[in-house]
Amino acid sequence: MPTKHQVKTFTNYIGGKWVETSGGTIESRNPATGELVSRSANSRPEDVTHAVEQARLAFDSGAWSSKRPPDRAKVLREISEALRTNIEPLSYLLTLETGKPLTDSKGELLNAANVLEYYASAARHIVGNVPRYAGTDVSLVVHEPIGVCGLIVPWNSPISLLSWKLGPALAAGCTVVIKPAGYTSGVTMEFVKLIASIEGLPPGVVNAISGPGETIGAELVKSAKVDKISFTGSTETGRRIMEMASANLKKMNLECGGKSADIVFDDANLDSALSGAVWSIFRSAGQSCNAGSRLLVQDTIYDSFMKKFKELAAAIKIGNGLDPATEMGPVVSESQLNRVLGYIKSGGEDGARLTLGGKRVVEGGYAKGFFVQPTVFEGVERDMRIFQEEIFGPVLCVLPFGDEDDAIAIANDTRFGLAGDLWSKNLTRIMKVSQGVRTGTVWVNRHLNPGPEVPFGGYKQSGLGRETGMEGLMEFLQTKHISLQLTDSFERARR
Residues serving a catalytic function are 255, 289
Q: Is 62 exposed, middle or buried (0-12, 13-18, 19+ CB in 10 A)?
A: exposed
Dist. CA 31–CA 331, nearest whole Å:
7
Dist. CA 347–CA 363, nearest whole Å:
24
Q: How far is CA 35 from CA 7, 30, 42, 233, 313, in A?
A: 10, 5, 19, 25, 28
Element (H, E) at 37: strand 36-41
Burial call 415-436: b when 16+ CB within 10 Å, e when fewer? ebbbbbbbbbeeeebbeebbee
Q: Which value, in Å, is the radius of gyration of the alpha carbons in the chain?
A: 24
Nearest to 475 by CA among 465, 460, 487: 465
Q: How many CB atoms lie within 10 A of CB 2?
A: 10
What's the DSSP call for residue 182? G
Cα-Cα-Cα-Cα torsion 366, 375, 293, 230, nearest 10 degrees, comes to -20
Question: For residues 401 and 297, is the Cβ–Cβ distance under 8 A?
Answer: yes
User: What are the two backbone dihedrals, phi and then psi, of residue 256, each rounded to the nearest 5 degrees?
Assistant: -110, -150
Element (H, E) at 480: strand 477-485
Dist. CA 260–CA 418, nearest whole Å:
7
Dist. CA 448–CA 441, nearest whole Å:
9
Burial call 266-281: b when 16+ CB within 10 Å, e when fewer? bebebeebbebbbbbb
Q: Residue 163 contacts by C-beta under 8 Å, 6 or more apart in sequence?
A: 111, 112, 113, 115, 116
Q: Is 326 helix (H, G, I), strand (E, B) or coil?
A: coil
